[in-house]
Copies of this chain bind each other. A is one copy, B any other.
Amino acid sequence: MAEHAAWKTPEERHARGLDVLKSVDGTGGEKVVASLADVSPELGRQVVGWAFGEIYDRPGLVPRDRQLVTLTALGGCEPQLDVHINAALNTGLGPEEITEALLHAAVYCGMPKALNATFVAKKVFGERGLLPVGGEPTG
């Protein structure tokens, strides 16, 4: 069963990748791919067909778990991070789980990356009306 994703036809995996990309990243992901069309269409195809149609679509980890991994496998101050914070919310992670994952990652990656990522989360949460997180500011 584990290999089913690997053996999709290229057309199937591209179509499946577009669906997964949309369900995970919403319009943010589609915009990233669209903006690659004139500079590196193959990179866009790999994001759709490989990253989403093949890897993301595999069984073994639910999308929520994949986003937990994605949030912290990034270097930390990546421009794509706001797409991934949105994706985390879209796959069922709550704002408190996201900030908690970033705090936990600080133990392993250091405080600066956690701070960078948390400020991106703040921007995304604000855009989606999810601030304040938990409700109580610090002193």
Give chain A's interface residues, CB within 8 Å of chain B: 2-3, 6-11, 32-33, 35-47, 49-51, 54-56, 58, 60-61, 65-66, 68-80, 95-97, 99-116, 118-119, 121-122, 125, 131-134, 136-138
Q: Is the interface of A mostly helix, strand, loop or mixed?
A: helix
B107 near A43: Cβ-Cβ < 8 Å: no
| Copies of this chain, whole number | 6
How far apart are A130's CB and chain B's nearest CB, in angstroms? 9
A133 to B39, CA, bound (A): 5
B32 near A112: Cβ-Cβ < 8 Å: no
Closest partner residue, chain B, to A134 (CB atom): B2
A41 to B79, CA, bound (A): 24
Contact among B32, B76, B119, B134 for A75, CB-based, below 8 A: B76
B119 near A35: Cβ-Cβ < 8 Å: yes
